[in-house]
Chain A
Amino acid sequence: MKCKNVLSRLSTYLDRELSPKTVLEMEKHLAVCRSCRGQLERIRQAEDSLNSLAIPPLPRGFAARVMAEARSRASLTKEKKPLSPFAWHPLRWFSEISVSMRLAACATVLLACLLGTFMSKEVCLSGNRQTAPTGAERLDGLEWFNASPPASLGSAYLTLTLTAPEEQGERR
């Protein structure tokens, strides 16, 4: 094994993450190469200096503070839950989402209303154009029979209704 290969594997060697075969080759090289051995030692020393980091003792009452916070969060969660099936709030989701999401929801509903109004107006106008009653057809609800086939019951009813007053007048 050459110095270049050994140097690139020193870190993994220190962590004992190399295969036994590679470890053997590394150790053979390190036994004879002063330069690589020196580098290994320098890496070890630098890493060992991490041990000088002092850690202060755990702050007093840490566990108690964690438990107090946990209890407060647990009680908040309980308060949020409905007490009975009758305490059903279909719009609760609205109070639980962010302001931007609320605005988006409002905008969607408004848009849907406007679109609905516009479309229903269109339908009415186009419907009026198609079924606008003329002359004798201006009878409440009878314009629906206009589209009836000539020999149908609807057509017969319309003929009878429209002609009946005139005939009645002639008879008189």
Chain B
Amino acid sequence: MTRATDEELMQAIAVGDLDAFSELVRRFQHFAWKTAYRFLGDSMEAEDIAQESFLRILEAAPRYRPTSNFCTYFYRILTNLCIDRTRKKQPATFGEMPEMPDPSRSPEGSLIEEQHEEQVRKALDALPHNQRAAMLLKHFEGLSYAEIAQILGVTSKAVERLISRARTSLQARLSDL
């Protein structure tokens, strides 16, 4: 039995096939979670956004036309949700709860790694939304400028500028690491 393509699953979802939707969730859940977490840096928000992206897919399935790769389509939904969430995010009025320490790390190593990670996180969070999205899509997903342009709804030249500025900014903030 041949494995249904993502596009075929979308066609089945469009006519109300929840089993097809379940298969799509199974295939893309890790991808959605990682992408959202990298962008937002918060477990609860990342889970919320990853979940919402699947529900958006479910709602949009009847209107979906397989003109482009499903992955690109999903990236667009997910990235836009992440950008919207970051825009709406209110500054915290009181300290956030610290993450649970990773038991696999030694206390000293863990502290250094945590500090390093925190600095990287801050540098990433300091980037404007579009720069952050473009940089993450390039670095972690290895997408081309043309694909990122399609996801962000900008030109390839604009993506080139976004990534270049993001790199300059990251370099300035992380030079002492």
The chain A residues found within 8 Å of chain B, CB to CB, are 11-12, 14-15, 17, 42-43, 45-47, 49-50, 52-56, 58-59, 62-63, 65-67, 69-71, 73-74
Interchain CB contact under 8 A, A53 and B124: yes
Q: Do most interface residues of chain B lie in helix, strand or loop, or is the interface mixed?
A: helix
Interchain CB contact under 8 A, A70 and B175: no
Tally of chain B residues near chain A (CB < 8 A): 44
Q: A residues within 8 A CB of B121? A: 53
CA distance A52 to B21 in the complex (A): 33
CA distance A65 to B116 in the complex (A): 33
Interchain CB contact under 8 A, B167 and A43: yes
B14 within 8 A of partner (CB): no
Interchain CB contact under 8 A, B167 and A53: no
Q: B residues within 8 A CB of A69? A: 51, 55
Of B3-11, B22-30, B88-96, the one touching chain A: B22-30
CA distance A55 to B36 in the complex (A): 10
Interchain CB contact under 8 A, A74 and B16: yes
19 extra interface residue pairs, beta carbon distance < 8 Å, beyond A17-B145, A63-B29 = A11-B163, A14-B167, A17-B160, A42-B175, A46-B174, A50-B136, A50-B140, A53-B117, A55-B34, A56-B37, A59-B33, A59-B47, A62-B29, A62-B51, A63-B26, A66-B51, A70-B54, A74-B16, A74-B18
CA distance A71 to B18 in the complex (A): 8
Question: What would 7 A/B residue contacts be, using CB atoms closer than 8 Å?
Answer: A43-B171, A52-B113, A53-B41, A55-B34, A58-B33, A62-B33, A67-B18
CA distance A15 to B177 in the complex (A): 23
Interchain CB contact under 8 A, A58 and B30: yes
CA distance A43 to B168 in the complex (A): 7
Interchain CB contact under 8 A, A46 and B170: yes
A52 and B58 contact, Cβ closer than 8 Å, known pairs A11-B164, A43-B167, A46-B170: no
Return the chain A residue nearest B26 by Cβ: A63
B158 within 8 A of partner (CB): no
CA distance A128 to B43 in the complex (A): 78
Q: B residues within 8 A CB of A54? A: 102, 117
Q: B residues within 8 A CB of A46? A: 167, 170-171, 174-175
A70 and B160 contact, Cβ closer than 8 Å, known pairs A49-B177, A54-B117: no
Interchain CB contact under 8 A, A15 and B163: yes
Interchain CB contact under 8 A, B171 and A42: yes
Q: A residues within 8 A CB of B145? A: 15, 17
Return the chain B residue nearest A8 by Cβ: B164
B139 within 8 A of partner (CB): yes
Q: A residues within 8 A CB of B34? A: 55
B76 within 8 A of partner (CB): no
Q: Tell me the chain B residues, 112-133 only, with Cβ under 8 Å from chain A.
A: 113, 116-117, 120-121, 124
Interchain CB contact under 8 A, A11 and B117: no
Q: B residues within 8 A CB of A17? A: 144-145, 160
Q: B residues within 8 A CB of A55? A: 33-34, 37-38
Q: B residues within 8 A CB of A43? A: 167, 171
Return the chain B residue nearest A12 by Cβ: B160
Interchain CB contact under 8 A, B50 and A62: yes
Q: A residues within 8 A CB of B117? A: 52-54
Q: Considering the complex of A and B, which 3 residue pairs feature the smallest CB-CB distances, nearest first?
A: A11-B164, A46-B171, A46-B170
